[in-house]
Copies of this chain bind each other. A is one copy, B any other.
Amino acid sequence: MIIAKPLVILCLMITRRHLKELRNLGKKKAREEQGRFLIEGLRMAEEAADSDFEVQEVLFTQAFVESAQGKSLLAKFQKKGPVFTAISERDLEPISETVTAQGIVAVVSNRSYDLEVILQPGKRSLIVGLDAVADPGNLGSMIRSCDWFGVNGMVLGQDSVELCNPKVLRSTMGGLFHLPIIEGVNLPSIISRMKTSGYTIYVADAAGEAYAEDVQYADRAFVIMGNEAHGVSPSLKHSADVRVAVRRYGLAESLNVGVACGVLLSAIRTVSAGGGRQGVHP
């Protein structure tokens, strides 16, 4: 007979004041000032538990701790030593952004990376820079794509939508926890540093001189995607070694920036693995 080890969690009861503080994290200003953000749902909580991000607090409902998945996740969180707080479904509702927070939210400390960490010395590196991407869903889906295509790091320009915006976090599907991302970077000012560090600069540009599948990508590549309406800003475009376009076969004027990013990353990986038009990459 197997007896499951009982889960013992010491937890706080929620107070009105505490609830107010948590609701406050729905605001960008509070997130930025406090350097922390809220995540919700089983999937994101699992990713946070597995990551090396600091988890300050885990809040869960009675139903959550009684579920098998809940027990196993809370046991995992225990190793990170957060504050545990019991919360009712009713109190959880105004804190969460989605209809179903699945009985779990957590407060996670923002991580800041140094650009040097992103640039990584070494031979191969694929970095993605986002210049003023405005839509949270687009930013989130690009982080998810970068995670899928094994991008080594991301650099968000100063006019990008906030990384810890709840819609962004949700759309990343956990990607945020898998690769280093820095935000608030003045992109034009880092270009010369990236070039010195051996990077070739590729700018996504519908009017670019080369099609994605025809380019021989350098081992160290920095790929810049632009704003939904205006594309990559002129000064960045000017600094590009290659302006890359996705080949068009129909009538549309443009692709969604998230889709273009995915197509470009797929082309880079395929060409570099020897599947491109111009043969095998050295």
Interface residues of A (CB under 8 A from B): 137, 141, 144-151, 171, 173-175, 178-179, 212-213, 246-256, 258-263, 266-267, 269-270, 274-277
Interchain CB contact under 8 A, A178 and B266? no
Cα A135 to Cα B19 in complex, Å, equals 31
> When the two chains form their complex, are residues A249 and B148 in contact, meaning their CB atoms are under 8 A apart?
yes
27 interchain pairs, CB-CB under 8 A:
A141-B258, A144-B252, A144-B255, A145-B259, A148-B248, A148-B251, A148-B252, A148-B254, A150-B248, A150-B250, A151-B250, A171-B256, A175-B251, A175-B252, A178-B250, A178-B251, A212-B266, A246-B266, A247-B269, A256-B258, A258-B258, A259-B261, A262-B263, A263-B263, A270-B277, A275-B276, A275-B277
| A141 to B251 Cα, complex, angstroms | 14
- Indicate how many identical chains form the complex: 2
Q: Which residue of B lies closest to A275 (CB)?
A: B277
B213 near A250 with CB under 8 A, answer no
